Structure 1
């Protein structure tokens, strides 16, 4: 287990932990929460033993393997799969033993090395690495691509996959969802639920924390408080605790006032001097309670739009993409033939797997990319507010917030004075010298707040928001949600924050298969759609396997030697995935039966004719059936991904 006893941790002159204590049991999944700057990342550094406590005791089992996501961008031409494989520290140690044994010619050492490789499951390690990569959104053709061929966000996904590859006893994940889309986030969520070690997560995604964690550690004013429950349970319990703490503080203040009045009244009287002195000692011994102090909530609102054109946008035969690499080259088209209209007041969530073209579509609407073909017609008086996924796309690194606002004010509001702009920035927590601090030195959350401030100042009537919450803490996310719900214009939102999508969007558009179409349902329906899509893939894989391990449409050309090698490869693959397919078929038989039983139990409970004992028994069974369905569906996904990965890795 992990234990902190009265730990003091300093970073420079700042005291991050001040007499903090906490106890975590093996296998617990913990959400670490607290305001930005509270010291959560410093606590992670202590847990990872990169920092030492200045005072107090920190205990963690010495034999535990630790895994965390490296924050630096890797620069290497190594293939993606091999890069992720190196995260398996047990496998790397076994390979090192084998290399030493080969070099020494020691037969006994060679045998031990092969045992170590077997224990590390070296035979299926590449398959496991590729399953992680595909779950995080990498395509089959990217599995062996050089690491330095990927953009920064994708390299961070590689670092995440490398951390997940480690057979860790303690996993530390600091904002693991920042560079993920919704599909990859849902996959990561299911993977972490199955993780058997101790897990500590820093995240500002409420639904992600609720789904994965069962313990919450709150870091506030250098102290740690443990709550048994996920983030929503923590919020409820903390609110109750704060009410109780404030009541206790007020009672103590009444007691102090009463004692002080007695002392002041009778300390000069000989007959009462002894009693007065005893009350003085009581006051001195009293452990003073602190009043409940909470950080000021952040809030803002969008200004009323000057006009609301209807329609806002009309798209006729629009295709989105990028110019070709060469001046005369054909453009690269990602989304084709879009026939959609954006009306005043619409609140649209844009869904789709990574790489399908969500950001490309939004950039085209924002005007930062020209349409490959077709016509985008803007309503008269349209004013677009665009939040780019990469904040630096719209910010100048060497300029400060005030310089950004001065330049913006000259474009949209020439009469603005500098003091007015300073006061406006203060609403977004840019105060004092911060208004002149270079954007390049600001934190991710501060950059995001600056972009929001610039959006508000522009007084838009159409908001195009591409992953606006990536660096926002929970309070700022809630403020954004409230502001969007009060906004009178139209909203188009790309986000992996399901809470924000649920609270803001009334309808969804799905970017898939090179097109855009309305999605008839909510986020729960979308996750079910993902499940059904994966089932269809698994069905196709089974049919391919029944046809000899290759899709029916596959070409059967090639030399006799090539066909023989392909047949051997298919035979070996079929042997490997046969038990997986059998388990998959068993699950597909069990799921309809369990679903039917759940429906029957729900109907019986709804009738209201059961006794209290029967209701309790039926309720317990309903929960057990629900848990079993959830477990089987997760296992179904895992098996489907494994079969798909093995088949694709073999090129079949």
Structure 2
């Protein structure tokens, strides 16, 4: 690593009643491309502000090469003191040159003369990006730069950062963005920071190695990891492994959906039968929607056809203003088409999780939001204690009485997801669900969507998330045409790419006949036995958990028999640990068997 131009030595910061982190050593080199990774609440944004010099530490020494310009892009820029976004961009002694700001604003598609008070979150974010990039920084500190940006703006920002001659440190939930741009990783984990000279593409393999080493060290010392550390390890690594299994299933679902598609170039998805599994829940036929009249008339959706069947996961992508929200409102019956028809199944019962997070009143407690002030929450017809349910969504049960206003943006989003996923429904509508979520919560959300029994509609600019969750992508380009593609964002992007130049591929030299494949090997006796018996064991564990949770459903148990209550809670935690281990073992064996055959 080259000599750093910005560094902190022995950094420590107190937050609340204790240390948020302590004894951190951080260096930023002249051309570093650093991904800053960590869970919600770990202190990532605070660490960026410390690096920027906007927050004073309780311990440590900040060193910076003279003349180095450090610029920070915050998550939620405050424009309340300015009349227009242009005034915000041009404010202060460090304001960028006007022509530089105007050029970047033009590329990002933002009108800087927009009134600041009425600007949307996306417009404020674009204005903040204009100000940050036009200041010609040597070090850029970027906190969720892709939040509220559309696909085109993200593509442009990726290109700009790829050409950037300085260094940057970026916090982002956008895996594709991080994988394409970063070359080093800072991992903020349990109050300490680790650095690896690998980009985000190698992050998951690196963390698996770290967790495995921690486990080995604990076993050598004949000690157990702390409960929360074991829970963290099991949650992160286990969820990743289970999601790999779900991705294989998703590929099968996409292949099945592709087989239902009409001739290439048409948008209609037809089905040969309507059994219980493939029953049509939304049927759109020759739908057109216009806005305005006369010379200002604009066709948002033109001659759109789609059949959505039960269990489909539909992703909607496109630039801001292309009509994504309009299409979503049409498909859910909130908006009527100007031409064509949209039929919704009579039994359709939907839940909409919107970008504004309107239900998250800052003065409410976590208990109020989840259980209306009580101890129990009904989760899809099953009663669960609030502490156990919070753990399922990666919360420490001690946050039960915390005010919503004290939670981070990611924690508020996760709390809303926990609340909404507990409600019975057969249609889930997610509008930009990944904003403010950390990577572990995205893994959790992927898992919950995969296990959801109904139909899902997702509007998102998160390309990796769509690739991991949806079976069909609806792509809008602003012309009124809606591309219907079986698969995720990557499949839609391939459809959009220019066709080849028409040249035939070069001939491949003839080779010797390929030898017949060797006979496939088999699993060992023990492995084969585990592979055969584990599914039944998992069902037995699930039945045990359900039995104990039914006992906990007695509202008087907590008061009358606190020891029994505690014993049941402990037994449920132990059973879930065993179930996770059994699922991971079975997935390992399934992967081995697939490789052998």
Q: Is contact 1:246-1:292 (8 Å) kept?
A: no
Task: Give 1:146's aligned residue.
Answer: 115
Structure 1, residues 334-360: CA drift from partner, whole Å, max 9, x if none? 435543221123222212111112123
Cα distance change on mapping 1:408 and 1:519 into 2, 3 Å:
farther
Contact residue 384 and residue 461 of structure 1 kept, 8 A: yes
Establish whether residue 46 from structure 1 lines up as the match of residue 50 from structure 2.
Answer: yes
Alignment of 1:156 with 2:125, yes or no, is: yes
| Change in CA separation of 1:77 and 1:47 when aligned onto 2, cut-off 3 Å | closer
Change (3 A) 1:516 1:23: same
8 A contact 1:333–1:372 mirrored in 2 = no
- 8 Å CA contact 1:312–1:344 kept in 2: the answer is yes
Matches for 1:280-319 after TM superposition, within 5 Å: 293-294=229-230, 296=232, 297=235, 310-319=279-288
Deviation per CA, 1:126-169: give whole Å up to 9, x if none: 2x43442344343xxx3543333422332122112211211001
Match of 1:478 among 428, 435, 443: 443
2:460 corresponds, among 495, 499, 505, to 495
- Shift in alpha-carbon separation, 1:49–1:176, aligned structure 2, 3 A: same
- The offset of 1:461, in angstroms, is 2.2
* 1:456 Cα deviation from its structure 2 partner: 2.1
Q: CA deviation at 1:318?
A: 4.3
Instruction: Look up the SS of the partner of 1:391 in the other structure.
Output: coil
Equivalence for 1:24: 28
Provide the residue aligned with 2:566 in structure 1.
none
- Of residues 120, 129, 132, the one that matches 2:101 is 129
Distance in 2, Cα, partners of 1:494 & 1:400: 29
User: Structure 1 residues 13 and 441 mapped into 2: Cα distance closer, same or farther (>3 Å)?
Assistant: closer
1:376–1:443 CA distance, 2 compared to 1 (3 A):
farther
2:206 corresponds to 1:237: yes
How big is each residue's C-alpha offset from its partner over 1:41-77, in whole Å with a ceiling of 9 and x where there is no partner? 2211221112233333331213111111243331366
Distance 2:430 2:467 in 1: 15
Q: Give me the whole-angstrom Cα distance separating, in 2, the residues matched to 1:447 and 1:490.
A: 24
Choose which of 488, 507, 511 in structure 1 pairs with 2:472: 507
State whether residues 313 and 471 of structure 2, in contact with CA within 8 Å, keep that contact through their aligned partners in structure 1. Answer: yes
Pairwise CA distance, 1:366: 3.7
- Give the drift of 1:86: 5.5
Q: What RMSD over aligned residues (CA atoms) do the two structures have, in Å?
A: 4.3
1:431 to partner: Cα distance: 6.2
Quote the offset at 1:430 in angstroms.
5.6
TM, length-normalised to structure 2: 0.67
In structure 2, relative to structure 1, the CA distance for the partners of 1:422 and 1:150 (3 Å cut) is same
Distance 1:522 1:418 in 2: 35
Residue in 2 that maps onto 1:197? 166
Aligned residues of 1:90 and 1:167 also touching (Cα < 8 A)? no
Alignment of 1:31-70 (within 5 A): 31-70=35-74
SS at structure 2 position matched to 1:10: strand
Q: Give 1:249-398 correspondences, 5 Å limit.
A: 250-251=219-220, 293-294=229-230, 296=232, 297=235, 310-319=279-288, 334-369=300-335, 375-392=341-358, 394-396=359-361, 398=363
Q: Secondary structure at the match of 2:430?
A: strand
> Equivalent residue of 1:148, what SS?
coil
Whether contact under 8 Å (1:87, 1:163) holds in the other structure is no
Q: Among residues 424, 431, 439, which one is paired with 1:466 in the alignment?
A: 431
Q: Within the alignment, does 1:455 sit opposite 2:420 as a pair? A: yes
Asked if 1 retains the 8 angstrom alpha-carbon contact of 2:89 and 2:95, the reply is: no
CA apart distance, 1:29: 0.6
Please give the alpha-carbon distance, in whole angstroms, between the structure 2 residues aligned to 1:91 and 1:215. 29
Offset from partner CA, 1:421-466 (integer Å, 9 cap, x none): 6654553356657445554443322222233223322232222221
Change (3 A) 1:225 1:441: closer
Q: Number of paired residues?
A: 465
In the TM superposition, residue 414 of structure 1 has moved relative to its aligned partner by 12
Decide which structure has greater helix share: 1
Cα 1:253–1:451 change in 2 (3 A) is closer
CA distance in 2, matches of 1:501, 1:429: 22
Deviation at 1:475, TM superposition (A): 0.8
Which SS does the other structure have where 2:160 is aligned? helix
In the alignment, structure 1 residue 444 sits paired with structure 2 residue 444: no
Taking the aligned partners of 2:55 and 2:466, their CA distance within structure 1 comes to 38
The answer to whether the 8 A contact 2:77-2:124 is kept is no
Distance 1:608 1:475 in 2: 48
Deviates further, 224-233 or 82-91: 82-91
Task: Verify the 8 A CA contact 1:87 1:166 in the aligned structure 2.
Answer: no
Task: Name 2:77's counterpart in structure 1.
Answer: 72
